[in-house]
């Protein structure tokens, strides 16, 4: 009775093109660079590539500020290169999903160039313009990238809304013409043969009527999960998505499982799944992501169990542990020093054995880590640079600000992909990279990973293969076994007669895991446990009823 879908069975690999592979020595990753690595992706075994924005852009936010939705960024190549990429993926049996960034455009998009000219310009209402209030911004909304979310424009003596940088004005989704433009553009890409979209901050597109201030009481929606958001997405589904066999994943900030069941519920005709961020907030304090806070495994398990169980049979999870906006998973949840290999495999074991579509971010499969550049001058990310300036202006110690950037800055994920150990810049470019390569590339690189049977890469490869062999890995229901244990995360996955037992030691200390074996007997009457994968050698004779785990040990058993 289970609802089988190719996008549930898929493993997605996220490419941040600027940092993946540079083919022409200008220091910037590009489409031909990606094309040269398609066999690498095929070897890993992934099914789908999610390509971060490659559209024309002045790159205020590395392509998330789009000036032409139907053109390719010159630094990345041409439309012909892009077509070659799509064909190269399809020939190898892989799919391509594109980033859809339509909460905002670039201020250099011709719609905005027109819009700002006069109050009666035909494009005026493509964006959100308001007069000031007593010489100040129309309301108190703040930008995600520091400062107010409004920019004054002298030409018409009004302000425009920008929830991200001031070069990313928000599109006005209340205007049916804007929605039509977006749907036509999506159709144009789908007709070129792409296999779906990842939708940037899609739950921000509907703003509360009257744009009420945050401080004006009530906690009604302002611009997150706004009043018309489901109407808009259902319209998009009707007009565009429903006509194709594609996958869609929405990026949704600040959502509960109830919200997600609305965005991605089986009967909702909206999206296939979303990215939610609850786990990504586990090491942040009340003031937000920069307030680095220790996390506890019991809370970590609580968050995962909550999402695994509350979406069961109702919606579908996206499983990821990092992306281009987040720190590297290994530096954050594992141990990027003495247990680099073991802890990366332990986290990978979890990533691939939770219920949901699996997402791998480039470099994760070789255990790339966070980076610590000496000075702020080496950083490139607009969020990081704005935040640094804001803190310095407020009188904070530079060294203190740098520590939070080392832990949370987005450039951690954006340092160039480490291909080789003995070429300058890790073989990413023959020129000067746009962002400095992580100095650990002589140890951590693809060349070395491919040559080493015991590498993180080969472990990912094995996990991906297992997904293709065991339906229970994709479809099994999740059950947490040990909510109160601060060191071990253990759970089962059950699909009909099939059951998996997953045991993960999250720390560098040994641990014992004991389990109530009668549960297994209850489902099958048998007592066999077949080891499917582990990051240590395990004697065949070992008794699964009482498992002694070494640092960061991970095991997956198939019970029958
Ligand atoms: O990066 C974040 C954490 O600091 C998030 O707040 C992020 O801004 C948010 O998840 C939205 O991200 C998406 O839209 C942004 C873009 O900068 C991000 O790269 C993108 O993933 C604006 O388009
Ligand atoms: Ca290049």
- pLDDT tens for 55-94 read 999 999 999 999 999 999 999 999 999 999 999 999 999 9
Mean pLDDT score, 421-431: 98
Looking at residue 525, what is its pLDDT? 55
Number of Cβ atoms within 10 Å of the Cβ of 529: 19
- pLDDT tens for 13-60 read 999 999 999 999 999 999 999 999 999 999 999 999 999 999 999 999
State the Cα angle at 433 between 428 and 435, rounded to 5°. 115
Please give the number of the atom of ligand 1 that sits closest to the Cα of 382.
17
Rounded CA separation 311/370 (Å): 32
Looking at residue 422, what is its pLDDT? 97
Residue 523: pLDDT band (50, 70, 90) is low
Share of the chain above pLDDT 90, in %: 93
CATH 3.90.400.10 fits 110-161, yes or no: yes
Q: Is the CB of 255 under 6 A from ligand 1?
A: no
Per-residue DSSP letter, 136: B
In the set 47, 65, 107, 200, the catalytic residue is: 200
pLDDT at 520 > cutoff 90: no
Q: Is the CB of 320 under 6 A from ligand 1?
A: no
Rounded CA separation 229/193 (Å): 27
- Does this model's pTM top 0.95? yes
Residue 218: pLDDT band (50, 70, 90) is low
Residue 519: pLDDT band (50, 70, 90) is low
Ligand 2 centroid–CA 358 distance in Å is 29
pLDDT at 203 > cutoff 60: yes
Pair 379, 405: CB distance under 8 Å:
yes
- DSSP-derived 3-state class of residue 220: coil
Cα distances from 502 to residues 345, 382, 488, in angstroms, run 13, 40, 10
In the set 30, 60, 99, 251, the catalytic residue is: 251
Q: Which helix (H) or strand (E) holds 70?
A: strand 68-72
Point out the least confidently predicted range of 244-253, 436-445, 512-521. Answer: 512-521
Mean pLDDT score, 236-248: 98
Ligand 2 centroid–CA 39 distance in Å is 19
**Residue spans per domain, the chain:** 7-103+179-459, 110-161, 476-559
Mean pLDDT score, 260-266: 97
Please provide residue 306's backbone torsions phi and psi, each rounded to the nearest 5 degrees.
-55, -45
- CATH superfamily membership of 7-103+179-459: Glycosidases (3.20.20.80)
Residue 537: pLDDT band (50, 70, 90) is very high
Rounded CA separation 279/290 (Å): 15
> Is 200 labeled as catalytic in the residue annotation?
yes
Looking at residue 216, what is its pLDDT? 76
Q: What are 365's two structure tokens?
A: 């499969």
- Is residue 441 exposed (0-12), middle (13-18) or buried (19+ Cβ within 10 Å)? buried
What's the complex ipTM? Answer: 0.97
CA-proximal residue: ligand 1, atom 7 (nearest) = 325
CA-proximal residue: ligand 1, atom 18 (nearest) = 325
Q: Assign domain 476-559 to its CATH architecture.
A: Sandwich (2.60)
Looking at residue 220, what is its pLDDT? 58
Share of the chain above pLDDT 70, in %: 97
Ligand 2 centroid–CA 21 distance in Å is 8
CA 249 to chain CA centroid, Å, is 10
Residue with tokens 């022409």, as numbered in its chain: 24
- Is residue 344 exposed (0-12), middle (13-18) or buried (19+ Cβ within 10 Å)? buried
- pLDDT tens for 349-381 read 999 999 999 999 999 999 999 999 999 999 999
Ligand nearest to the CA of 32: 2
Greatest Cα pair distance, the chain, in angstroms, is 79
Q: Is the CB of 65 under 6 A from ligand 1?
A: no
Ligand 2 centroid–CA 361 distance in Å is 20
Ligand nearest to the CA of 81: 2
Mean pLDDT score, 489-502: 95
Looking at residue 214, what is its pLDDT? 85
- The closest alpha carbon to 38, from 79, 97, 78, 95, belongs to 95
Per-residue DSSP letter, 424: G
pLDDT at 138 > cutoff 70: yes
Ligand 1 centroid–CA 325 distance in Å is 6
Please provide the average confidence, as pLDDT, over all residues in the chain: 96
- pLDDT tens for 366-420 read 999 999 999 999 999 999 999 999 999 999 999 999 999 999 999 999 999 999 9
pLDDT at 538 > cutoff 60: yes
Rounded CA separation 139/126 (Å): 20
Q: Choose the residue to mutate in 201, 290, 327, 407 for probing ligand 1, maximizing ligand atoms within 8 Å of C-beta.
A: 201
- DSSP-derived 3-state class of residue 532: strand
Rg, Å, the chain Cα set: 24
Looking at residue 217, what is its pLDDT? 66
Per-residue DSSP letter, 127: B
Looking at residue 526, what is its pLDDT? 54
Rounded CA separation 425/445 (Å): 11
- The closest alpha carbon to 276, from 304, 301, 234, 241, belongs to 304
Looking at residue 181, what is its pLDDT? 98
CA-CA-CA-CA dihedral for 422, 427, 430, 436, to nearest 10: -100
Angle between helices 297-311 and 257-264 (to 10 degrees): 40
pLDDT at 274 > cutoff 70: yes
Looking at residue 219, what is its pLDDT? 60
Looking at residue 207, what is its pLDDT? 96
């Amino acid at each position: 009775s289970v609802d089988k879908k190719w996008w549930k069975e898929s493993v997605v690999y996220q490419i941040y093109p600027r940092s993946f592979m540079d083919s022409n020595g200008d220091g910037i990753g590009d489409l031909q660079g990606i094309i040269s690595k398609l066999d690498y992706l095929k070897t890993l075994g992934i099914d789908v590539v999610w390509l971060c924005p490659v559209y024309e852009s002045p790159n205020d936010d590395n392509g998330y500020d789009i000036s032409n939705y139907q053109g390719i960024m010159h630094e990345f190549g041409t439309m012909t290169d892009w077509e070659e990429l799509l064909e190269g993926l399809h020939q190898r049996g892989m799919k391509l999903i594109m980033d859809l960034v339509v909460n905002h455009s670039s201020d250099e998009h011709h719609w905005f160039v027109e819009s700002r000219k006069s109050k009666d310009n035909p494009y005026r209402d493509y964006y959100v313009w308001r007069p000031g209030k007593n010489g100040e911004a129309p309301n108190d909304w703040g930008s995600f990238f520091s400062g107010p979310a409004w920019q004054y424009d002298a030409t018409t003596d009004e302000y425009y809304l920008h929830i991200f940088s001031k070069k990313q004005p928000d599109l006005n989704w209340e205007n049916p013409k804007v929605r039509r433009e977006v749907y036509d553009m999506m159709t144009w890409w789908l007709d070129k043969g792409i296999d779906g979209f990842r939708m940037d901050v899609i739950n921000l597109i509907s703003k509360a009527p009257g744009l009420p201030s945050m401080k004006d009481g009530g906690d009604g929606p302002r611009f997150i999960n706004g009043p018309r958001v489901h109407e808009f997405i259902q319209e998009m589904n009707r007009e565009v998505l429903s006509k194709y066999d594609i996958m869609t994943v929405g990026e949704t900030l600040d959502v509960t499982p109830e919200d997600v069941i609305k965005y991605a519920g089986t009967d909702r005709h909206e999206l296939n799944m979303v990215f939610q961020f609850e786990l990504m907030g586990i090491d942040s304090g009340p003031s937000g992501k920069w307030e680095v806070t220790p996390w506890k495994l019991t809370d970590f398990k609580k968050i995962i169990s909550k999402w695994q169980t509350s979406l069961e049979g109702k919606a579908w999870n996206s499983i990821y542990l990092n992306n281009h906006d987040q720190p590297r998973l290994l530096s954050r949840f594992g141990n990027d020093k003495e247990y680099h290999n073991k802890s990366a495999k332990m986290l990978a074991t979890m990533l691939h054995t939770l219920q949901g579509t699996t997402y791998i971010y480039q470099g994760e499969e070789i255990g790339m880590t966070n980076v610590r550049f000496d000075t702020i001058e080496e950083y490139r990310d607009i969020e990081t640079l704005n935040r640094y300036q804001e803190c310095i202006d407020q009188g904070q110690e530079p060294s203190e600000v740098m520590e939070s950037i080392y832990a949370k800055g987005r450039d951690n994920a954006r340092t160039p992909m480490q291909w080789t150990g003995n070429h300058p810049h890790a073989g990413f470019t023959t020129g000067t990279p746009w962002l400095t390569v992580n100095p650990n590339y002589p140890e951590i690189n693809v060349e070395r990973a491919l040559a080493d049977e015991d590498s993180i890469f080969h472990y990912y490869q094995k996990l991906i293969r297992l997904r293709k062999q065991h339906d229970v890995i994709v479809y099994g229901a999740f059950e947490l076994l040990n909510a109160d244990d601060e060191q071990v995360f253990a759970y089962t996955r059950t699909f009909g007669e099939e059951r998996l037992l997953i045991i993960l030691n999250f720390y560098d200390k040994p641990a014992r895991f004991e389990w109530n074996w009668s549960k297994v007997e209850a489902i099958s009457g048998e007592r066999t446990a077949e080891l499917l994968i582990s990051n240590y050698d395990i004697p065949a004779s070992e008794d699964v009823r009482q498992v002694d785990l070494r640092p960061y040990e991970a095991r997956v058993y198939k019970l029958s």
